[in-house]
Chains A and B, each alone.
Chain A
């Protein structure tokens, strides 16, 4: 056994250049596959984090009719029994109650259909976190002009500032990204922005009778903090829902669709407005370990044990996102497959060459008494050595890039960034942390090597010793 490994190791170095070329092809295939897949999976994680973990939750408990006919008439009572049933399930990080319905919002001259979302102001911080999305800075044309006059910005940043006129921001980091600021520029310009572009607004108190409205909706309604907005809609069982609400703050949401129509109010105010009593329309649940989502979904069903409810995971209530991710993922896998397919032929070429030029040597080994199985074993080890070295080096070199890319996601700029924003996602590309995909590359290469061994092994099996000795 040991001698087989020694022979295999020495054999692969008989033609150093060819071995290095083969290893290099495997190395680059693994390296690019890891980085590409890591980008893809990282982006999906980020999308899921933004769309699911930070808004809808991974699992929702709803009235079983609500999923097909989402009206307030299909709401359900948010009582202690339900809370304790859900709380007893392991893996639940938080269960956040919500009331969601539509209404017409008006500020006198402007009116628009809006999505009214009643939230538990404390618990909601762990889900969509509206407090953290409050608009803190606004670049009105006047403010932009003032900043440009008072700072000595480079040409690029001046143009970017102009391009972002009328934008609202809830954090410095996003301003820095949009203006492509380096550390030195941040030190210069951010205090000026803080002074000139700060925007006031407050989060909702637990029983607040005010509302938060999304940024684009606020611009459309021409509503500002302190203004009032009239909401008119239909409440529980056809009750009339109409009231006037003061605007406490403006929230900047990544999804343009939501940013155009969202109104937050406290849960009690929403229940009162829609005459819902203690009813809610959904219980939105986030998990400790999202890998166990399906099991947790079943556990919740079991814990609630009622025909009144349905328990849906995000793939069921947001199939569009799931299909979008799956479609993109398949594209990525096909691309990686093509990459590996090309490398596979490279490996087959190498192994056939190795066999052809050693035909007589292999014949001698069989002639003096080496079984064809043992000989095949040596050849397989040779190929596995090539695969192992190429794969290992590919993984080792890609690992630090994955770590860096995961900790410091690549920030996109320009049109690409805008495209991401239009889709409702942060324009960043994080790399996924090490997971199964990392080891899959090694497994795929090893399988490829074994496939590549088929032809030479068949040649060894069919080899006629006399003919081989004449080679």
Chain B
């Protein structure tokens, strides 16, 4: 089943009267349960592409259809709500809310969705256990290592039961061991919860784990390789 359908997507930045085409006429689609990596050199347009798929940035041309909804037609407030219910995010710098504990960070997104306390509690604990942080539920981000924070971020991204998770360079700030652990966790959750994961990455370890590798260069899709 097609989760994301991208048609003729273009993004042009107007930098000091010079037009820069960050993404140029890209068409792609993602199926449910995919574990895909978008790779390419710095400035190739992978983060811009990911931001547009996540509804964080507007496309200059083209359209992105998620589960039958054309994101370009949504108003700003509708787009925020759409993200809340459909998309999970994992950022390079973890970006947890520093004043909330690990559990509260995971619960936060469910709270925004209006889920009841018992459900929030149970799912937050369940997800934190799944990412190996069952013992650190009450720790604030400052008390967690980078790897642990990123695992909380993964748990937070999955808490809302999204259609897909976008992870922008999730391993860039992690050591090898943490990277391996995180990737194993994400792969397992991908299999278990049938959630689509899309990474933008430079990291070969992520590429090795991915079931599909999309290479982007100068805003174009250079190759789209599927693996078994």
Is residue A3 within 8 Å, beta carbon to beta carbon, of the partner chain?
yes
- Which of A7, A360, A371, A469 is close to B80, meaning CB atoms less than 8 Å apart? A371
> Taking each of A14, A366, A368, which has the highest tally of chain B beta carbons within 10 Å of its own beta carbon?
A368
Query: How distant is the Cα of A374 from the Cα of B111 in the complex, in angstroms?
Result: 12
Query: In the complex the two chains form, is A466's CB within 8 Å of B51's CB?
Result: yes
Query: How distant is the Cα of A147 from the Cα of B57 in the complex, in angstroms?
Result: 93
- Which of A7, A465, A466 is close to B99, meaning CB atoms less than 8 Å apart? A7
Query: In the complex the two chains form, is A369's CB within 8 Å of B99's CB?
Result: no
Query: How distant is the Cα of A10 from the Cα of B100 in the complex, in angstroms?
Result: 8
Query: In the complex the two chains form, is B57's CB within 8 Å of A369's CB?
Result: no
Query: In the complex the two chains form, is B97's CB within 8 Å of A360's CB?
Result: no
- Which of A14, A364, A369 is close to B81, meaning CB atoms less than 8 Å apart? A369
Is residue A367 within 8 Å, beta carbon to beta carbon, of the partner chain?
yes
> Taking each of A367, A370, A466, which has the highest tally of chain B beta carbons within 10 Å of its own beta carbon?
A367
Contact with A along B48-92 (1 / 0, CB 8 A): 000100101100000000000000000001001101110011010
How far, in Å, is A115 (CB) from chain B's closest CB?
A: 73
When distances are taken between beta carbons in the complex, the residues of chain A under 8 Å from B57 are 465-466
Query: In the complex the two chains form, is A369's CB within 8 Å of B98's CB?
Result: no
Query: How distant is the Cα of A349 from the Cα of B110 in the complex, in angstroms?
Result: 33
* A360-B100 contact given A369-B112, A465-B56, A466-B57, CB 8 Å threshold: no
- Which of B85, B93, B97, B112 is close to A374, meaning CB atoms less than 8 Å apart? B112
User: How many B residues, CB 8 Å from partner?
Assistant: 28
Query: How distant is the Cα of A23 from the Cα of B156 in the complex, in angstroms?
Result: 34
* A10-B109 contact given A366-B80, A368-B89, A371-B81, CB 8 Å threshold: no
Query: In the complex the two chains form, is B56's CB within 8 Å of A360's CB?
Result: no
How far, in Å, is A465 (CB) from chain B's closest CB?
A: 5
- Which of A365, A369, A371 is close to B97, meaning CB atoms less than 8 Å apart? A365
Query: How distant is the Cα of A367 from the Cα of B111 in the complex, in angstroms?
Result: 15
* A369-B160 contact given A374-B112, A469-B56, CB 8 Å threshold: yes
Query: How distant is the Cα of A330 from the Cα of B157 in the complex, in angstroms?
Result: 58
Query: How distant is the Cα of A335 from the Cα of B130 in the complex, in angstroms?
Result: 62
Is residue A298 within 8 Å, beta carbon to beta carbon, of the partner chain?
no
Query: In the complex the two chains form, is B99's CB within 8 Å of A10's CB?
Result: yes
Query: In the complex the two chains form, is B56's CB within 8 Å of A369's CB?
Result: no
> Taking each of B85, B89, B97, which has the highest tally of chain A beta carbons within 10 Å of its own beta carbon?
B97
How far, in Å, is A274 (CB) from chain B's closest CB?
A: 83
Query: In the complex the two chains form, is A7's CB within 8 Å of B97's CB?
Result: yes
Is residue B95 within 8 Å, beta carbon to beta carbon, of the partner chain?
yes
* Identity of the chain B residue whose Cβ is nearest the Cβ of A11 in the assembled complex: B99
- Which of B84, B98, B108 is close to A361, meaning CB atoms less than 8 Å apart? B98
When distances are taken between beta carbons in the complex, the residues of chain A under 8 Å from B160 are 369
How far, in Å, is B163 (CB) from chain A's closest CB?
A: 13
Query: In the complex the two chains form, is B156's CB within 8 Å of A368's CB?
Result: yes
When distances are taken between beta carbons in the complex, the residues of chain A under 8 Å from B156 are 368
Query: How distant is the Cα of A397 from the Cα of B12 in the complex, in angstroms?
Result: 60
**Interface contact tally, CB-CB below 8 A:** 62
- Which of A7, A367, A368, A372 is close to B100, meaning CB atoms less than 8 Å apart? A7
When distances are taken between beta carbons in the complex, the residues of chain B under 8 Å from A372 are 77, 80
How far, in Å, is B92 (CB) from chain A's closest CB?
A: 10
- Which of A14, A366, A370, A469 is close to B91, meaning CB atoms less than 8 Å apart? A469
- Which of B56, B98, B99, B104 is close to A367, meaning CB atoms less than 8 Å apart? B56
Query: How distant is the Cα of A14 from the Cα of B80 in the complex, in angstroms?
Result: 27
Query: How distant is the Cα of A361 from the Cα of B98 in the complex, in angstroms?
Result: 9
Within 8 A of A (CB), among B104-118: 104, 108-109, 111-113
When distances are taken between beta carbons in the complex, the residues of chain B under 8 Å from A370 are 80, 84, 112
When distances are taken between beta carbons in the complex, the residues of chain A under 8 Å from B84 are 368-370
* A364-B95 contact given A466-B57, A469-B56, CB 8 Å threshold: yes
* Identity of the chain B residue whose Cβ is nearest the Cβ of A374 in the assembled complex: B112
- Which of A7, A14, A367, A374 is close to B54, meaning CB atoms less than 8 Å apart? A367
When distances are taken between beta carbons in the complex, the residues of chain B under 8 Å from A367 are 54, 56, 83, 89
When distances are taken between beta carbons in the complex, the residues of chain B under 8 Å from A469 are 56, 91, 95
Within 8 A of B (CB), among A346-362: 360-361
When distances are taken between beta carbons in the complex, the residues of chain A under 8 Å from B100 are 7, 10
When distances are taken between beta carbons in the complex, the residues of chain A under 8 Å from B93 are 360
Query: How distant is the Cα of A11 from the Cα of B95 in the complex, in angstroms?
Result: 15
> Taking each of A3, A360, A372, A469, which has the highest tally of chain B beta carbons within 10 Å of its own beta carbon?
A469
How far, in Å, is B208 (CB) from chain A's closest CB?
A: 27
* Identity of the chain B residue whose Cβ is nearest the Cβ of A360 in the assembled complex: B95
Within 8 A of B (CB), among A1-21: 3, 7, 10-11, 14
Within 8 A of A (CB), among B5-56: 51, 54, 56
When distances are taken between beta carbons in the complex, the residues of chain A under 8 Å from B111 are 3
Contact with B along A401-418 (1 / 0, CB 8 A): 000000000000000000
Query: How distant is the Cα of A366 from the Cα of B100 in the complex, in angstroms?
Result: 16
Query: How distant is the Cα of A14 from the Cα of B156 in the complex, in angstroms?
Result: 22
Query: How distant is the Cα of A369 from the Cα of B100 in the complex, in angstroms?
Result: 16
Query: In the complex the two chains form, is A369's CB within 8 Å of B83's CB?
Result: yes
How far, in Å, is B220 (CB) from chain A's closest CB?
A: 21
When distances are taken between beta carbons in the complex, the residues of chain B under 8 Å from A371 are 77, 80-81, 112
When distances are taken between beta carbons in the complex, the residues of chain B under 8 Å from A361 are 95, 97-98
How far, in Å, is B54 (CB) from chain A's closest CB?
A: 7
How far, in Å, is A459 (CB) from chain B's closest CB?
A: 15
When distances are taken between beta carbons in the complex, the residues of chain A under 8 Å from B56 are 367, 465-466, 469
When distances are taken between beta carbons in the complex, the residues of chain B under 8 Å from A11 are 99
* Identity of the chain B residue whose Cβ is nearest the Cβ of A10 in the assembled complex: B99
How far, in Å, is B112 (CB) from chain A's closest CB?
A: 5
Query: How distant is the Cα of A368 from the Cα of B80 in the complex, in angstroms?
Result: 8
Given contacts A368-B157, A466-B56, 7 further A-B contacts (CB under 8 A): A361-B95, A367-B56, A368-B83, A369-B83, A371-B112, A372-B77, A466-B57
Binding site for A on B (CB under 8 A): 51, 54, 56-57, 77, 80-81, 83-85, 88-89, 91, 93, 95, 97-100, 104, 108-109, 111-113, 156-157, 160
- What are 21 inter-chain pairs, A to B, with CB distance below 8 A? A3-B111, A360-B93, A360-B95, A361-B98, A364-B89, A364-B91, A364-B97, A365-B97, A367-B54, A367-B89, A368-B83, A368-B89, A369-B80, A369-B81, A369-B83, A369-B109, A369-B113, A372-B77, A374-B112, A465-B57, A469-B56
Closest 4 CB pairs of A and B: A369-B84, A10-B99, A364-B95, A466-B57
